[in-house]
Amino acid sequence: MKVENCKAEMCRAIEVVSGHGHDLSPPEKSPLTGEDLEREGEDLFVPPLNFAMVDNGIFRSGFPDSANFSFLQTLGLRSIIYLCPEPYPEANAEFLKSNGIRLFEFGIEGHKEPFVNIPEDTIREALKIVLDVRNHPLLIHCKRGKHRTGCLVGCLRKLQRWCLSSVFDEYQRFAAAKARVSDQRFMELFDVSSMKAFANVTFSIHTSCFGINRKR
Amino acid sequence: MKVENCKAEMCRAIEVVSGHGHDLSPPEKSPLTGEDLEREGEDLFVPPLNFAMVDNGIFRSGFPDSANFSFLQTLGLRSIIYLCPEPYPEANAEFLKSNGIRLFEFGIEGHKEPFVNIPEDTIREALKIVLDVRNHPLLIHCKRGKHRTGCLVGCLRKLQRWCLSSVFDEYQRFAAAKARVSDQRFMELFDVSSMKAFANVTFSIHTSCFGINRKR
């Protein structure tokens, strides 16, 4: 198992299998096709709590458990961004290993108000991983897919030039009764000007399905 | 303006511009690129109410207004499915015309409980349009993006073999306090067995970004 130290130890990127690295070819473990699924019979899929598609090649959710693995296989994931400090469970690490999925860990504490303190630099580093299409398809998750995941996605939306009310509307859709003013203040204050170099990547996400702005 | 009558008059497909029809090439009006957006300056985008990505090439929202048009352009839409019986506003029709977007109208009444009566055949016909990748990128919308849109997306999830609790979880995320038991009963009772022929198309949606099961 190869462990990389990212900037300021904010991220540990664990290559659970050595191999495909950062090419743009499809993941070694291809997504299941309709035929595969037919062969698998009529079992139902169980997406993780709060699962949703953020943009082409980018998904979000709460903490996946073994019941979600067969669904996650249909996404053909190349990477997972994990936003909690707790060690990744063995069963999940095994799933990543057997599917050639790289894990990027950003240990953000799940503070509750009034002690919330989302580290901006960590979100910034995670955002760079999200914006790198070589990591796609990618799943972002924390524990419930509400606060830490919501803040990271909200900062991505700001980079995509969404107005703040739309960023908050999306955040609140997932956080529901647990929405935090402090998280929304964090997203409002997050400065995207320093990440303009990634703007084209960001906007290429919208159109990557249609062969524009994406080198494959 | 060409008007097509779909099965049992449930749908009026209006080709607001004659032309690209059903080829698999990119829409005549290409999505904006990062460079285009840079040239447009720093204006913020305003996604429609309740906007979200359903799957590759499929989006959902409430009723878009002119404030949302520049955002919708970034999606490079080829089609819109409109689920209300009210006539499509002139400004919206003009936007579709100038962007080469085909409008599929399915006039479902926005009944309130206890008089809800979502027509299963209409949802079935709309689902066939959703599943046809030749119509992608596609936006599904009604008035608020909660009930009619939620039921259509819920039936798509059943075809994608999502377990019912995940289908309801997604429905409730958009309907929030307006969630209707009758809508959830409709989704639970919706029979997907007659649409198995579309199963491979459905599952190909998941992987269409990665060149699997999609002929482009």
Which chain A residues are closer than 8 Å to B212 by Cβ? 26, 30-31, 33, 76
Give the model's pLDDT for residue B21: 40
* Among B125, B131, B123, CA closest to B5: B125
For residue A181, report the phi and psi dihedrals to the nearest 5 degrees. Answer: -60, -35
Regions in chain B scoring below 50 on pLDDT: 1-8, 16-30, 37, 39, 201-216
Between chains, do B174 and A173 touch, taking CB under 8 Å as contact?
A: yes
Q: How far apart (Å, rounded) are the C-alpha atoms in residues A55 and A51?
A: 13
- For A25, counting Cβ atoms within 10 Å of its Cβ (0-12 exposed, 13-18 middle, 19+ buried), the class is exposed
Give the DSSP letter string of B37-88: HHHTTTPPB-PPTT-EEEETTEEEES---GGGHHHHHTTT-SEEEE--SSPP
**What's the pLDDT tens digit per position in B37-79?**
454 556 899 999 999 999 999 999 999 999 999 999 999 999 9
CA-nearest residue to B157 within chain A is A45
Give the model's pLDDT for residue A18: 36
Q: Mean pLDDT in chain A?
A: 80
Q: For residue A5, is pLDDT > 60?
A: no
**What's the pLDDT tens digit per position in A118-169?**
889 999 999 999 999 999 999 999 999 999 999 999 999 999 999 999 999 9
Per the annotation, the verdict on A142 as an active-site residue is: yes
Tokens representing A98 are: 């057997």
Question: Can you state the percent helix, strand and coil of chain B, rounding each to 5?
Answer: 45, 15, 40
**What's the pLDDT tens digit per position in A12-71?**
665 544 334 444 444 444 455 555 545 455 689 999 999 999 999 999 999 999 999 999
Tokens representing A24 are: 């743009």
DSSP A45: B
Q: How far apart (Å, rounded) are the C-alpha atoms in residues B161 and A46?
A: 9
**What's the pLDDT tens digit per position in A163-205?**
999 999 999 999 999 899 999 999 999 999 888 776 554 444 4
| Exposure letters B81-92 (e unless 16+ CB within 10 A, then b) | bbbbeeebeeeb
Which chain A residues are closer than 8 Å to B201 by Cβ? 34
Q: How far is CA A201 from each of CA A54, A136, A206, rounded to the nearest angstrom?
A: 15, 12, 9
Between chains, do B208 and A211 touch, taking CB under 8 Å as contact?
A: no
